[in-house]
Structure 1
Amino acid sequence: MDLLGGMSRDQLSIFSWVAATVFALVAGLWRPRRIYWTALGSVLLFAALNAGAGIYVLNHFGDSRWSAGGEPPLTAPSFSGTPVVGQFLGPLDSALNAVVGGVNEFLAFKQALPVALDFLAASGWALLVSFPLALLAAGISYAVARRRTADFEKYRATVDLLKEELEQVKRQISSGNSIDTALPAEGEVTDVRPALTRRR
């Protein structure tokens, strides 16, 4: 089924712009922090759609949509209706029809070629724009990755420091408990003052 059969040249061009714009809006709303990748994706989508449209035109160069305002197709004269000798001129009609059909195909291809080249040129310009966008997106992604790595290292250093401080606090608490265990309890202290008084 030919999904593009009902679309004119202008509609094909508009379809490429609309599809790329819708993709940019949807992807931008979905991942706003990666807008640079969204821009690159929309440009590449635009390039792919225009390249596909150009190939479609070349594959359907005989379609009348590409020959608007162009030369009308040629028709071969018929000699088979000529009195007396018409029955002998049938092969000539077949040969003329074949020649005229080839000429019409050439004319149709000549009329469709500029249309296809317009789409392919738009695709080429989009690809040229995509190269600096790809470099920019890669640079931003690299910077973001480095920043995340630095933040992770800082977080890990903070966690290690907190672990070390926690170990110090544990050691202080354990040493304090050992000192309290070594000292006698208050009720266990023996009062030796009466014995000393009796000896006197």
Structure 2
Amino acid sequence: MIEMLSGASVGTFKNLVWIIAVVIGLLFLIGSRPSTLRKTAARVITALTAGTAAFAAANLAVVFYILAHLMDPRWSVGRDATIESPELSAGPFFQPITDTLNDILDGLTGNVNNVIALKNAFLTMPDFIVAAGWASVVLVGLAITNRILSSIIEKDQMKQIDQNTRDLADIRAQFGLAPFQDARVGAR
């Protein structure tokens, strides 16, 4: 998997994040059909919540991938170019001096190029960090909506259970059977 990512561009990472989010969200829609409109809405909200969480996590995973590969030239695309050191040359008498100067310039140029690559990587990461942040904000709203909808569904189910218990108690009474003995199941 890491070998496949080594050739991926920043745009590919952005597309991959969306694909992961959509696939995870769709996986939460698979299953038996919900029986009521509220349960359908709850399943859709749950799928949106899962997809949003996957989106945030995938964006953060890309940030960590960039941090692990800071000097990768992919983060420099369209950004600052690297520099090259000039090659000093002189006659045979000054060759040892120019070789030493060339080595110093190569080391200095390499360090400057590392700083440029680091800066470019840090300029690429905010796209993913901001996307993860917004996904987290949306995630809070979805979690609140999911909890409210779950509470409404739970209250409806409790009303239905109470109604079924009363109906069963009425049927037992019509047949002359004794009322329920268990206090948790007893008719009111």
TM surpasses 0.5: yes
Equivalent position of 1:147 in the other structure:
156
**Could you tell me how far apart the structure 2 residues matched to 1:66 and 1:168 are?**
78
Which structure is larger by alpha-carbon Rg, 1 or 2? 1
Alpha-carbon shift at residue 92 of structure 1 (Å): 4.4
1:35-50 alignment runs, 5 A limit: 35-50=44-59
Residue in 1 that maps onto 2:183: none
Unaligned stretches of 5+ residues in structure 1 = 170-200
Say if 2:57 is the partner of 1:66: no
C-alpha distance in structure 1 between counterparts of 2:132 and 2:62, whole Å: 10
Question: Quick check: 54-63 or 87-96, which moved more?
Answer: 87-96
Residue number among 122, 128, 134 corresponding to 1:119 in the alignment: 128
Matched residues in 2 for 1:142 and 1:83: separation? 87
One-letter amino acid of the structure 2 residue matched with residue 161 of structure 1: D
Superposition RMSD on alpha carbons, in Å? 2.4
Report matched runs for 1:49-198 at 5 Å: 49-78=58-87, 83-88=92-97, 90-167=99-176
- Farther off after superposition, 81-90 or 159-168: 81-90
Farther off after superposition, 5-14 or 20-29: 20-29
Structure-1-length-normalised TM-score: 0.73
CA contact (8 A) 1:54 1:120 kept: yes
Q: Secondary structure at the match of 1:2?
A: helix
Give the stretch that moved more between structures: 116-125 or 157-166: 157-166
- 1:8 shift after superposition: 0.9
When you count helix as a share of all residues, which structure comes out higher?
1
Whole-Å separation in 2 of the counterparts to 1:25 and 1:152: 31
> How much does 1:111 deviate?
1.4
The worse-fitting range, judged by mean Cα deviation, of 29-38 and 134-143 is 29-38
Partner in structure 2 of residue 25 of structure 1: 26
Gaps of 5+ in 2: 35-39, 179-188
Deviations 1:126-161 (A, max 9, x none): 111111111000100111111111211221222222
On the 8 A contact 2:49/2:139 being kept in 1, the answer is yes
Contact in 2 for aligned 1:55/1:116 (Cα 8 Å): no
The range that moved more, 14-23 or 111-120, is 14-23
Kindly, what percent of the aligned residue pairs are identical? 25
Give the TM-score of the pair, scaled to structure 2: 0.78
Superposition deviation, residue 89 in structure 1: 5.5
One-letter identity of the residue aligned with 2:113: N
Query: Paired residues, what number?
Result: 169
The answer to whether the 8 Å contact 1:80/1:89 transfers is yes
Give deviations 1:64-100, integer Å, cap 9, x for gaps: 2111123332233455876223335655444433322
- Would you say the 8 A contact 1:79–1:86 is kept in 2? no
Query: Any conservation in 2 of the 1:36–1:137 contact (CA below 8 Å)?
Result: yes
